Each structure stands twice: as structure tokens, then as C-alpha cells.
Structure 1
Amino acid sequence: MSDEKSPAAQYWSANLRLILGCLIVWAFVSYGCAILFRPLLAGIQFGGTDLGFWFAQQGSILSFIGLIFFYAWRMNKLDKKFDLGE
């Protein structure tokens, strides 16, 4: 067996790294900013309320929408890199 990965294995590995990165951001925003770090963010005003409450109510949703667009953009670049475009 050679040490080189096949292109399919490299593609899947890059895809898994991207998914893992998105999941880390998702967990940080939804659990970290909205729940765990809410008392620390309570003193920061944003959008007429404190930042912790804003993340719990609106920031998480906006972050998730941003993650969807980021994932689609990165997957398009990854598809082109591995010549898997439409």
C-alpha cells in the first residue's frame, strides 16, 4: 500500500474537516455564546439588549444561516479542486 491517499479519500477527508469545523462553530455559538457564556456577555449591549440574550434569540439563527452559505461556498471550491463540478 502506498502512503498517498486516493483522490476520493482526500476529498472525503477535506469534507469531514469542513463539517467538523462547522460543527465546532455551531456548538460554540449555540451552547457557548447563548448558554454557557451568557453571564459574561450580559454586560455588552447589542441590538437593544445584552449580547448573550441576542445570541440566544437571533444570533444563533443568523450564525446558522451564515454556516449554511459558508459550507455551500467551501464545498463548491472543494468540488472544483477535485474536478467534481457540475
Structure 2
Amino acid sequence: MSENKLKMQAYWKKNLRTLLILLIIWFTVSFGFGILLVEQLNQIKIGGFKLGFWFAQQGSIYAFVVLIFVYVYRMNQLDKEFDVNEE
């Protein structure tokens, strides 16, 4: 195999690893906190709202937006590391 092909395989492996980690976090926040653990989290109130309800209604959306920015930041790092950046 050529060096370039090995480099691209390593790039995609790190890319998929990053994507998998972020999807696991998103699943945990949205499904875990918003559905599975809602009763336990509802015992905690923040600003007058039950925490489980907040995660189901708002928290998973906020977490998703934060994960988008984390993904963009991480991909820019990977692009620079493997010299495939567009800058």
C-alpha cells in the first residue's frame, strides 16, 4: 500500500472514532437523560423546572449544538494533523 493510502485510512479511522464518541454522548444525553433516567433526574430542580423534563425538552438540543461545534473543532484538528486542511 502506498503511504498516502495508509495516511488516509488513519485519517478516516480517527474521524469515525470521533464521530462514534460524539454519537454515544448525544444518545446518552437525549435518550438516556431524556427518557430512561427522567424519573431520577426529575428529583433535581433547576430554575423551577425538573431536570429530567429539561433534558427531554431543551437539554438534548443544547447538547447536540455543542457537539456540532466540538465535531467541527476536532475535524479541523484532524485535517491539520493529516495535512488535508483547506486553509
TM-score, length of structure 2 as denominator length = 0.91
1:16 equivalent in structure 2 = 16
Q: Kindly provide the CA deviation profile for residues 5-48 of structure 1, in whole angstroms up to 9, marking residues without a partner as x.
A: 81000000000000100110011011000000001101111232
For this pair of structures, how many residues does the alignment match? 83
- CA separation in 1, counterparts of 2:57 and 2:9? 39
Q: Is the 8 A contact 1:47 1:54 kept in 2?
A: no
2:50 equivalent in structure 1 = 50
**After TM superposition, which residue ranges in structure 1, 4 or more long, deviate above 3 angstroms?**
none
Runs of 5+ consecutive residues of structure 2 not aligned to the other structure: none
Which SS does the other structure have where 1:6 is aligned?
helix
1:67 equivalent in structure 2 = 67
1:28 equivalent in structure 2 = 28
Instruction: Name the amino acid aligned to 2:25.
Output: V
Q: Kindly provide the CA deviation profile for residues 29-86 of structure 1, in whole angstroms up to 9, marking residues without a partner as x.
A: 1100000000110111123201000000110100000000000000000000000111
Instruction: Name the amino acid aligned to 1:35.
Output: I
Give aligned-pair identity as a percent: 54
- CA separation in 2, counterparts of 1:37 and 1:58? 15
